[in-house]
Structure 1
């Protein structure tokens, strides 16, 4: 008999089913939105590819648009970057990560192609700097970029891709990070961290514009092996199948066969990983003749003495480009003795030599020693939050 109470019971069950279905649907929508939030749109409406979230709290891929190669020129270039924050949210300090020739942003956030035999989980500086390995969760925000002429960034005519244009674009990015125009976060402090040619660009930016709070230079000393171009022979990028469809002019170059392992890695199989080197060959990027010409010009005492914020130099003891036939890298003390005169007292120069490591410090088994060295120095000189400032 369909009593009043039976009808109430049926309606109650039906209502419960509807609520359950709506909750399930909302959960699906939420998950979809959460995934989509990792992709940021450029100002021109074109979406960037998804970020490789290397264990950071949140990572967003984005284009920084409307950039000029020099003051007074048209702002028609763009830079691709990945902005990552610690688990607790954006830091007040962002580390602007600048890779060297033939490397894109992945140098700082390398995909896990293998496990480090020494127990480290991966080769991601981004994961380390954002605090993934720190039990207290203390970390920095990071913004790793493809420099001009690299990867997903603009590729102007090769003669315009040089130290000057790299520096001016980096200055514009520093300004926008501080103004809150990148990732909707206004960063109080910017710490430049460069590698190789990226170190030269970072040094030049800091010495010229005085708008950053610290500088970390890896894989770049004032003296260098005079046989660099012989050690790392280059070929025209257009002759490499990886770049054949990009219509790059003859001034764009890339690594020649075998040169990556020979120039950048120390004793593969013992102190570096063959899987990493193989992947490096797959994702190698470009450089220009003009950038190669600028390699030496970027490091002069006149320029580096203009830096008035703390500076850390980190170099691999077996760096074939910086140490062999150039600087005595047997210890941090010997490198400091060589480099100290190039910097002002305001730079408070510190030097660290990483044993059993070649040019690509991020990509050797010692990578986490390099990351920890940089992290300790950074916490002491450019804290991630104001409450940690000295």
Structure 2
């Protein structure tokens, strides 16, 4: 009964916070602190590499629910911390930090400031092992932050959602899982296989600007200046093995381990996302056979890159509300 009452009032407080935050999304960003951290991880080749992260928080990161955010392919942690453009905010990390979370946005191996192992080493399993080591350290005080977190939520986007799902299925490190821009119902790929065949000649590669603009955005709800910023400043490379393993196994539960996730799960699909369309929502929860609960949300008018559309709050606000209701710690 006490937990139920606490949950009820937590949700009420969360809703009140939304009423205060939503009309003024660009306010108070100067109060957010950013701490750069590096986590050592060991891969199957026996070598130690580093996973870089940026921690966003307000006042203190202690005794807060921690969101660990994993970017998708051809991005790094800045997908979660894009700058404001034409007065509109695009930083998920800073938005959530203002709502009293700590947000650790990591660079997946091979991207951003993380180590760059051989491009054919970093498979989905190796990427997942690295994230697992980061999360395991965050449960104790022996980590670069010197603090043990009691509540951890994994939040992924696209390929990062696939990594997060694999990690949660293999290790169960987080208390809850949020996936965005990724589904488990097979759909035709919008990409021409010939385009990928050419790109995969290199151990590290990125997607050409024209493909990113075409497949990552609904142009009716995306600022052209944001798309230009994306291709100029947010773009990054990804390891060939990670791309190949993801492309070959996206719908294979033996690799994704989606059927082994036991925590609560929130899945967000973009209505107009050509990669993981909202039209598959009615079948999506069938993949999560072991999850304690599954919530599937379809975001109206949304393309693939949720954070970088002008109506990004239709993603961010429900994530906050779901975490608050699910963990009663948001």
TM-score range, shorter chain: 0.7 to 0.9
Q: Distance in 2 between matches of 1:210 and 1:365?
A: 34
Tell me how far 1:292 sits from its aligned partner.
2.2
Does structure 1 conserve the Cα–Cα contact (< 8 Å) formed by 2:33 and 2:59?
A: yes
Tell me how far 1:89 sits from its aligned partner.
4.3
Q: Distance in 2 between matches of 1:292 and 1:111?
A: 27
Instruction: Give the structure, 1 or 2, with the largest relative contact order (CA under 8 Å, sep 6 or more).
Output: 2
Q: Distance in 2 between matches of 1:316 and 1:346?
A: 22
The answer for the alignment partner of 1:356 in structure 2 is 301
Match of residue 179, structure 1, among 125, 131, 140: 140
Match of residue 61, structure 1, among 33, 36, 40: 36
Does structure 1 conserve the Cα–Cα contact (< 8 Å) formed by 2:38 and 2:144?
A: no
Asked if 1:156 corresponds to 2:117, the answer is yes
Q: Distance in 2 between matches of 1:271 and 1:321?
A: 17
Tell me how far 1:80 sits from its aligned partner.
1.2
Q: Distance in 2 between matches of 1:115 and 1:263?
A: 25
Tell me how far 1:254 sits from its aligned partner.
0.9
Match of residue 104, structure 1, among 76, 83, 99: 76
The answer for the alignment partner of 1:127 in structure 2 is 94
Match of residue 191, structure 1, among 150, 153, 160: 153
Tell me how far 1:263 sits from its aligned partner.
0.9
| Structure with more of its chain in strand, by fraction | 2
Q: Distance in 1 between matches of 2:124 and 2:60?
A: 36
The answer for the alignment partner of 1:25 in structure 2 is none
The answer for the alignment partner of 2:16 in structure 1 is none
Aligned length: 298
Does structure 1 conserve the Cα–Cα contact (< 8 Å) formed by 2:306 and 2:315?
A: yes
Tell me how far 1:346 sits from its aligned partner.
3.6
The answer for the alignment partner of 2:310 in structure 1 is 365
Q: What do the CA deviations read for 1:249-276 (whole angstroms, capped 9, x no partner)?
A: 9221111241110010111xx3001111
Tell me how far 1:345 sits from its aligned partner.
5.3
Does structure 1 conserve the Cα–Cα contact (< 8 Å) formed by 2:260 and 2:291?
A: no
The answer for the alignment partner of 2:207 in structure 1 is 255
- Name the SS of the counterpart of 1:350 in structure 2: strand
Match of residue 80, structure 1, among 52, 60, 64: 52
Q: Distance in 2 between matches of 1:217 and 1:84?
A: 20
Structure 1 residues 185 and 299 mapped into 2: Cα distance closer, same or farther (>3 Å)?
A: farther
Q: What do the CA deviations read for 1:175-203 (whole angstroms, capped 9, x no partner)?
A: 11111213122111211000000000000
Q: Distance in 2 between matches of 1:78 and 1:157?
A: 14
For structure 2, the 5+ residue unaligned runs are 1-27
Q: Distance in 1 between matches of 2:259 and 2:31?
A: 35
Does structure 2 conserve the Cα–Cα contact (< 8 Å) formed by 1:201 and 1:298?
A: no
Q: Distance in 1 between matches of 2:173 and 2:104?
A: 16
TM-score (norm 2): 0.83
Does structure 1 conserve the Cα–Cα contact (< 8 Å) formed by 2:128 and 2:166?
A: yes
Tell me how far 1:310 sits from its aligned partner.
0.2
Asked if 1:294 corresponds to 2:245, the answer is yes
Computing the radius of gyration from Cα coordinates, the structure with the larger value is 1
The answer for the alignment partner of 1:311 in structure 2 is 265
Structure 1 residues 372 and 320 mapped into 2: Cα distance closer, same or farther (>3 Å)?
A: same
Structure 1 residues 97 and 144 mapped into 2: Cα distance closer, same or farther (>3 Å)?
A: same
The answer for the alignment partner of 1:114 in structure 2 is 86
